[in-house]
Amino acid sequence: MTKNKRKILMITPYIPRLGQSGGQRHSFYTVKYLSQKNDVTIICFSRNEDGLEDLKKYCKKVIIVKRGATWSLQKILTAGFSFYPFLLINYINNDLKIAIDTELKSQKYDVIHCDCLYPLPNIPKTDIPIVLVDVTIEYAIYQHYVESLTGIKKLLAPILWIDVLKLKYWETYYWKNTNTVIMFSPSDRDFVIKSTGRKDIEVFEDGVDPEYFKLKTKAKRSTFPSILFGISNMKWMQNRESVDLILKKYWPSIKQRYHDAKLYIIGRYAPDFFSNYLSDDIIVREADSEGGEQDPQYFYEHCWLLLAPMGSGGGTRNKFLEGMTFKLPVITNPEGGMGNIKIENYKHAIVSPNKDILKNIYKLIDDSDYRLKMGEEARKLIRENYAFDKSVEKLNQIYEKISKV
């Protein structure tokens, strides 16, 4: 390793890997391109070692701290009688604290990069600049969930509200008390600025691996109308909420109009949550990167459009970025938005009020020239503006400013 490389300690609540979607894929590409100008040591809090060998290619050192089960009586009681919310209790871990403390004492680091809020309480007091790369506004997601409870579940609302308020307190605390906070959309950045009074909140220009543009085609577009929701991690409640919205509000009308149409619900844990919808017309599958019909590229190239109306915003837009890379028109609503992807609406993608989504789906299905043109424009936009090597270069500039290395 060269002596002038910046030394980064990266801390993640998972092993960054390509076989996943959302944050884990984002973290993997961040490490991949950070490693070109930095020495990266990463501490991962994970239940397994899936993806470890791929990660090692880009890191000086990888440390795995084993994570236990999410639910236990001890964790529930701890969350109930402490000032920490249940979400953070899941990631406050003595072994993780020791691993971080030991690494900081044994090696000299220029920056601590923490991917998302969860691991932050484990970092000891230090003079090393801490960068929080915050994928989404966590408490807003859980607040939305509590506000949407109906029926008997609504009886849990008072208890859950307490947890939301605790999460809000700690999230705001860390926004105020880390050296730099980096969000994933201008709207999230503006929200954090308003919440903290800080003017130095940055936006991460999320992107795709530039190597995507060199890939050979793996699938032909279907001969029938095909609508994709994915490629997403279905343990993320926003994604499940979006699928429910499609199934209940849009799919019946689409199917009535186009009898041969098919809906693809694709992503990590998709069969766990939606296998009861499996039929000839609704395909529910796990997604991975093995190169066959579970490869995300296969579905991006096979389907006609990507439909993802959301109930609440936040998070990465990996599925949008990747779908657009493979010429797939995207339709979402203002709640879903496009994150940091700066589009010309109805040219690169469609952000539409819920009441107009069906009309826009029909337009894309019926007008093949419009659909193909939007796909071409989408790919061009991503290729020219949202490659991950360019995104990470901005991170390097932020690191240089706060670490002087």
Task: Identify whether residues 277 and 290 lie together within a single domain.
Answer: yes
Give me the pLDDT at residue 170, please: 97
* Structural domain includes residue 273: yes
Is the distance from CB of 336 to CB of 255 less than 8 angstroms?
A: no
Q: Is residue 121 part of a domain?
A: yes
Domain count, the chain: 2
57 shares its domain with 143? yes
Rounded to whole angstroms, how far apart are CA atoms 214 and 184?
26
65 and 137, same structural domain?
yes
Can you give the residue range of the structural domain that contains 270? Answer: 210-385
Q: Which element (helix H / strand E) includes 133?
A: strand 130-133
The CATH number linked to 73 is 3.40.50.2000
Q: Domain for residue 260, yes or no? A: yes
Same domain (yes/no): 171, 229:
no
358 and 234 housed in the same domain: yes
- Predicted pLDDT at 2: 45
Which DSSP category does 217 fall into? P
Contact between 379 and 325 (Cβ < 8 Å): yes
pLDDT of residue 354: 94
Q: What backbone phi and psi angles, to 5 degrees, belong to 44?
A: -110, 135
- Tokens 């230090």 correspond to 126
44 in Cβ contact with 15 (< 8 Å): yes
Question: Per-block average pLDDT, block size 10, for the chain (405 residues)?
Answer: 79 86 83 95 94 94 94 89 94 97 96 95 96 90 90 93 96 96 90 94 88 91 96 87 96 98 93 95 80 75 95 74 95 87 95 96 98 98 91 90 81
Residue 17 domain-assigned? yes
- Using CA atoms, how far residue 193 sits from 61, 178, 190, 313, 371, in Å, is 35, 14, 5, 17, 38
Tell whether pTM > 0.95.
no
Vertex 12: Cα angle to 6 and 15 (nearest 5): 105
366 domain residue, yes or no? yes
96 with 26, same domain: the answer is yes
The reply to whether 96 and 245 lie within a common domain is: no
Q: Indicate whether 296 and 365 sit together in one domain.
A: yes
The closest of 330, 277, 364 to 263, measured between CA atoms, is 277
State whether 148 and 293 are in the same domain. no
Question: Does residue 354 lie within any of the structural domains?
Answer: yes
Residues 117 and 324: their CA atoms lie apart, in Å, by 29
* Domain match, 168 and 314 both: no
Q: Which of 374, 356, 237 shows the shortest CA–CA distance to 306?
A: 374
Q: Give the distance between the most distant pair of CA atoms in the chain.
A: 65
State the pLDDT at residue 291: 43
Whether residue 1 is contained in a domain is answered as no
Q: Give the per-residue pLDDT at 313.
A: 63
Residue 186 lies in a domain: yes
Q: Are residues 57 and 147 in the same domain?
A: yes
| 41 plus 177 within the same structural domain | yes
